[in-house]
Amino acid sequence: MTGTAVTQVRRAVFCALVACSTSGTQAWAAHAYAQFGDIKYPAGFSHFEWADPKAPKGGDLELVPPLRITSFDKYNPFTLKGTSAPGLGALVFESLLTGTYDEPTTSYGLLADDVEVAPDKLSATFRINPAARFHNGKPVTAADVKHSFDTLISKQAHPQYRVVLADVSKAVVTGPLTIRYEFKTASAELPLLVGGLPVFSRDWGAGKPFDQVISEAPIASGPYRIGRVTFGRDITYQRDPEYWARDLNVRRGTFNFDRVTYKIYKDNTAQTEGFKAGEFDYIQVFSAKDWARTYVGKKFSSGELIKAELTSKNAGDFQGFLINTRREKFSDPRVREALELAFDWEWVNRMVNYSAHVRVRSFFNGSDFEPKGLPGPDELALLEPLREKLPAKVFTTEVPPPPTTNPPHSLRDNLRRARELLAQAGWTFRDGALRNAKGEPFTIEYLVSDARAEIVAAPYYQALARLGIAAQSRRADFALIQKRLDVFDFDFFTVRIPGSESPGSELVDRFGSKSAETEGSGNLIGVRDPAVDVLLGHVVSATTRPQLVASLRALDRVLAHGFYVVRQYYSGVYRVAYRSGKFEQPAVAPLYYRPEDWIVTAWWRKK
């Protein structure tokens, strides 16, 4: 930690909540760790408020994955190639610390029953709960934790781990049940990051190279094990009756179903009809059109099937057409700005989405991190040293709002402006198409995996055609699309990124220059900007909430002026449907959650 005053304040918060020394040389020791010192539950608390400790165990829950997949081909979710079975991360694997649905930047002991963060913030030591056991009955040891970390940062694991954990220098076993993570830089986030890493047994894979561990069932410590499987289609997780943490406070009243089954369908129509026919119990609906027109009928009218719009305090999701700036035709920000001007969101929202969505303005919609107006003093303190690397507009104009067609604006005016920008970038209309100086026509291929994306894209294609741009969809199975995304072989692709109350190191993978050339990274856009890299450094090194807010606003402002995406929309509610009379839920709803996570974690089967 930097700054004596900040250190004293942070220590005072911790010592008010847990027994810790006031000696200036003593490291912190606690049952929990908070990035900014806001621990809600004291040591020895009974259970999380959003869980019911009296919830009965038993019964089944059948659902579909929230992310659209059409099959799976492995049980290892930590490698690059292939598609892992849904549910593995939440149900089978555990970490040293676990989060809670009512605090966005605080985690409590799970596999670890104690965490000590050094006063200089350059290391964090975890003590493993002696009761912790893997599914094979062996104890969880510090050697297993180190093995998990070393494996995840190796070249055999998904490259995103190496990017996100770049500031962790090493993991050191200091005893059979103690491990110390050492950091290259002081960061309030890093203890949360390493505390949240999955832990698995050294026995998993029996010594095979990790990227060849594919069909071997994980040896982990979570509340469920893999049960019945129709490989590639359906998977059932069976609750472990000997689960080591079933009476632990962070697990009391949670994971109540005996069996959790994920069913996979090839297309949305089959999935919807399967739900109506009683093939599974719960689904989250992302299409406003489907919600209005498909999720209706006698079973909904009679109450046999329930439709609900759930609210939360989550930051809004981000969704948009990602533009692959590695392609030469997309390298000029004027071109990318022109492409966004051709998207008539108001028409799409009115005619396709039943006016049910909110316009995306930022990568951090509806949160404290969304920049507005001109940069304030806190942002300028970060931006001024980068002035020579940034467009002057970053300092002199407000954040570029998404284009609108509401009067007095119009799509015609937007297209006129788009044509001017394209001409400035060297693209002019001749011989029936928009062409560059070499005479090459401007074309766009949009990767899609379902018909809904094509419906949204159709009016956009028409507007692009008026500019002389030929756009078309390339529809494929999601597994094939994922392979192309991993090697950045695409023009356009739509992603939905869930909103976060504590953005941090994952943004380095999403926007950092090193990630731009790392296959399989989250930097699909291909951002390679030294100024962005500096601002990402401020994000991950923030030691106070105001510092995090200022750095994220500055980052988002710079990204907005780069016009890397065509901003689309998000929903202000969660649309879910489930079978009536089968489930009950705790009296207290969480503040920050995803519907599937809450249902799988805290609901139970009605007797």
Strand order in the sheet with 103-109: 32-34, 103-109, 97-100
The rounded Cα 36 to chain-centroid distance in angstroms is: 21
Give ∠ CA 530-436-470 in degrees, rounded to 5. Answer: 100
What is the reported pLDDT for 70?
Answer: 85
Please state whether beta strands 234-239 and 224-230 pair in parallel, antiparallel, or not at all (unpaired).
antiparallel
Looking at domain 318-570, which of 3.10.105.10, 3.60.90.10, 1.20.1250.20, 1.10.1060.10 is its CATH number? 3.10.105.10
pLDDT digits (tens, 9 = 90+) for 67-76: 778 899 999 9
What is the reported pLDDT for 29?
Answer: 60
Q: Does residue 243 sit in helix, strand or coil?
A: coil
In 3D, which of 174, 198, 194 has the Cα closest to residue 184? Answer: 194
What is the reported pLDDT for 317?
Answer: 94
Cα gap 160→494, rounded to integer Å = 20
Residue 28 has pLDDT above 70, yes or no: no
Break the chain down into helix, strand, coil percent, rounded to 5.
30, 20, 50
Residue 11 has pLDDT above 50, yes or no: no
pLDDT digits (tens, 9 = 90+) for 481-498: 999 999 999 999 999 999
What is the reported pLDDT for 19?
Answer: 31
What is the reported pLDDT for 327?
Answer: 97
What is the reported pLDDT for 197?
Answer: 98
Residue 607 has pLDDT above 90, yes or no: no
Output DSSP code: residue 114.
Answer: E
pLDDT digits (tens, 9 = 90+) for 41-53: 999 999 999 999 9
In angstroms, how far is the first alpha carbon of the chain from the final one? 51
What is the reported pLDDT for 67?
Answer: 77
The rounded Cα 307 to chain-centroid distance in angstroms is: 25
Average pLDDT over residues 315-323: 95
Q: 124 has which bridge partners?
A: 117, 181
Average pLDDT over residues 100-127: 95
Residue 370 has pLDDT above 80, yes or no: yes
pLDDT grade, residue 254 (50/70/90)? very high
CA dihedral in degrees (449, 452, 454, 456; nearest 10)? -140
Average pLDDT over residues 283-307: 94
> How deeply is 83 buried, as exposed, middle or buried, from its count of CB atoms within 10 A (0-12, 13-18, 19+)?
middle
Cα gap 594→326, rounded to integer Å = 33
What is the reported pLDDT for 449?
Answer: 84
The token pair that represents 210 in the structure block: 């990790």
Looking at domain 45-311+573-607, which of 3.40.190.10, 1.10.730.10, 1.25.40.340, 3.20.20.70 is its CATH number? 3.40.190.10
Q: How many residues does the chain have?
A: 607
| 105-132 b/e (C-beta count within 10 Å ≥ 16 → b) | bbbbbbbbbbbbbbbebbbbbbbbbeeb
pLDDT digits (tens, 9 = 90+) for 187-235: 899 999 999 999 999 999 998 999 999 999 999 999 999 999 998 899 9
Phi-psi region of 584 (alpha: psi -120 to 50; beta: other; left: phi over 0): beta
Are the CB atoms for 414 and 342 separated by under 8 Å?
Answer: yes
Residue 18 has pLDDT above 70, yes or no: no
Q: Cis link prior to 586 (omega < 30° from 0)? A: no
Q: What whole-number percentage of the chain has pLDDT above 90? A: 87
pLDDT grade, residue 17 (50/70/90)? very low
| Among 3-17, 264-278, 296-310, 422-436, the least confident range | 3-17
pLDDT grade, residue 4 (50/70/90)? very low
Return the domain boundaries, the chain: 45-311+573-607, 318-570
Cα gap 428→236, rounded to integer Å = 56
The token pair that represents 234 in the structure block: 């359906």
Concatenating the DSSP letter of every residue in 55-102 gives PPP--EEEE--SS--S---BS-TTSSSS-BPTTHHHHT-EESEEEETT
* Average pLDDT over the chain, rounded to an integer: 92
Average pLDDT over residues 593-606: 95
Name, in order, each residue with C-beta under 8 angstroms of 322's C-beta and a sequence gap of 6 or more. Answer: 492, 493, 494, 495, 524, 525, 564, 565
Average pLDDT over residues 358-386: 96
Which CA distances in Å does 570 have to 320, 349, 356? 9, 10, 9
pLDDT grade, residue 113 (50/70/90)? very high
Residue 10 has pLDDT above 80, yes or no: no
Angle of helix 333-341 versus helix 411-424 axis, rounded to 10: 160
CB atoms within 10 A of CB 316: 21
Residue 3 has pLDDT above 50, yes or no: no
pLDDT digits (tens, 9 = 90+) for 429-455: 999 999 999 999 999 999 998 888 899
Cα gap 70→425, rounded to integer Å = 40
Higher pLDDT among residues 317 and 15, named by residue: 317
Average pLDDT over residues 138-151: 98
pTM here? 0.88
